[in-house]
Amino acid sequence: MTHHDVLTRRPWRPLIMGRKGAVASNHPAATQAGLDALRAGGTAADAAVAVSLALGVAEPHMSGLGGDGFYHVYEAATGTSTVFNGSGTAPALATPEEFRDGMAIDSHRSAGVPGALAGVAMLHARHGRLAWADLVRPAVALAAEGVGVTHTYRRMAAMRKALLLRDAAAAGIYLADGEVPTLGAILAQPALAKTLELIAEGGAEAFYRGPIAAMLARASAAGGGLIREADIRAFAPEAQPAVTAHYRGYEIRQTPPNSTGFVLLQELLIAGNFDVAAMGYLSAEHIHTLVEAKKLAFLDRERLAGDPRFGPVDLTEILDPANARKLAAKIDPRRAASIPLKLPAPNAGETTYFCIVDAWGNAVSAIQSLNSPFGGGVTAGEAGFLLNNRMATWHLDPRHPNMLAPGKRVRHTMNAPLILKDGQLWGILGTPGADNQVQVNFQAVSALVDFGLDPQQAVEAPRWFSDQPGQNATWPHNGKEDLTIEEDVGPEVLEGLRARGHTLITQRPIHGTCSLECIRVLENGMRMAGSDPRRDGWAGAY
């Protein structure tokens, strides 16, 4: 395949367009819930509530009430954006001494305090118009009536079947008589429906300071976990200003620490020193340059990625274009560098992303997660939802900014960018995929800005993922020195990368990880939306 073919081949999916509103999410049922909210006169924030909660039902293996989230809101009237940080905290009992033999990976002990619902509720309180209960009830209906089991669900359930079988409650909900459900089987979650109805009536208070907190704490204690009711009651989301950088005249806004969204900004600043467009889209030179920029940016991630409430996180140096120029000068156009990460270090991880633009031009870029598929494989008892295994991503080295401490928010690979041009919203995009998130977002920004691809072309284009020693998100934070790439870049490109010293792992077309969703806003107001066929992504507009 030539570079020209990559640009012009007909995508498998149509580009979705509408003049009033657009939603792109990782599941059709969630996208429909968001469109319904927009059509009812809701804002992007209203639609985000509906999408967020619907995803937790239709895609329970990726996110839900037991997980975390970041919700990045753009206000068209003022041009400002705010990040509602709903990432949870380590329980009071979660000390480094408690995990002296290493972090727990898949159990009640691997669950941190869930924060997603608190973030969504704060978003709605500040920017919503529609009644909260009306936005929750589509998720209630999905849980009560059931959703169809998809190919993606079956793949993830097969991957985690042994884990789910260890917990009778989880196996009873997410498997069928101990087996992976058949395609099209009805996944009903009646206990979750009752929990969501409590949330519809009582808001986030019902979760954090009501009956749901008591259910969660009881289940945690019974399962040997560390979450107590006091931890849940004490949790509070945070409204934060975005962090920003400029790339070829575009302003990129990102989720701030404890998110590692700043890594994307540094990657772009480094790449801005090269004439990327002249290299040709997805040429060996183009891919090599971006991969090498990624490796350098990940070094600074290890140095800086922590919770700013527990120690200073100063991004001044890495967001300085002069520093980016120095780093760019280190890139050898003919040779791949070996850059292991200097401190103990995020690859596997399952998450979900969605983006929304409403009739007024407001937007939400949002991402939420349980960490691994089906989280830790355990539920919040009779509350009927899965708990995260986010504790698995802590470090125990006291030199590391992501060292475990009670009440601290763990470093997140989750990030939710926005793109502005001339002070106006230009694009939104994002993906699940742990460490691969900022890499795929990097590739997508280059595709949109440097090469003028539309959202569906950018989403379906061949993609790559770079791994470095010490990079992996989950304990014990190891990693290899590989470049995984979808083979439809073409044999010449693959050979050109090998000649530069990259160790390649090839994948079939549209078989790479991540599930990119993207919306572009044109100067005439048209919203163009693209969704990823690699999972269950779906875009809609009106």
Q: Which domain holds residue 296?
A: 1-146+188-401+409-542
pLDDT at 481: 87
pLDDT tens by residue, the chain, 542 residues: 445 455 556 778 999 999 999 999 999 999 999 999 999 999 999 999 999 999 999 999 999 999 999 999 999 999 999 999 999 999 999 999 999 999 999 999 999 999 999 999 999 999 999 999 999 999 999 999 999 999 999 999 999 999 999 999 999 999 999 999 999 999 999 999 999 999 999 999 999 999 999 999 999 999 999 999 999 999 999 999 999 999 999 999 999 999 999 999 999 999 999 999 999 999 999 999 999 999 999 998 888 888 999 988 999 999 999 999 999 999 999 999 998 875 543 334 468 999 999 999 999 999 999 999 999 999 999 999 999 999 999 999 898 899 999 999 999 999 999 999 999 999 999 999 888 999 999 999 999 999 999 999 999 999 999 998 878 767 777 788 899 999 999 999 999 999 999 999 999 999 998 999 999 999 999 999 999 999 999 999 99
151 assigned to some structural domain: no
169 assigned to some structural domain: no
Q: Annotated active-site positions, please?
A: 351
Compute φ and ψ for 388, nearest 5 degrees.
Answer: -70, 165
pLDDT at 346: 37
Cβ distance 517 to 442 under 8 Å? no
CA triple 386-391-394, angle to 5 deg? 155
CATH number at residue 92: 3.60.20.40
155 assigned to some structural domain: no
pLDDT at 1: 46
177 assigned to some structural domain: no
pLDDT at 479: 80
152 assigned to some structural domain: no
Domain total in the chain:
1
pLDDT at 355: 98
Residue 43's closest CA among 353, 361, 354, 366? Answer: 361
Gap between the Cα atoms of 263 and 68, Å rounded: 20
160 assigned to some structural domain: no
264 assigned to some structural domain: yes
221: number of Cβ within 10 Å: 14
Gap between the Cα atoms of 323 and 310, Å rounded: 26
Q: How far apart are the first and last CA of the chain?
A: 35
- What is this structure's pTM? 0.96
Residue 247's closest CA among 447, 397, 436, 88? Answer: 447
Non-local CB neighbours of 337 within 8 Å, separated by 6+ positions: 292, 295, 330, 331
180 assigned to some structural domain: no
Gap between the Cα atoms of 186 and 495, Å rounded: 46
Q: Which amino acid is at 510?
A: I
pLDDT at 342: 59
Cβ distance 355 to 30 under 8 Å? no
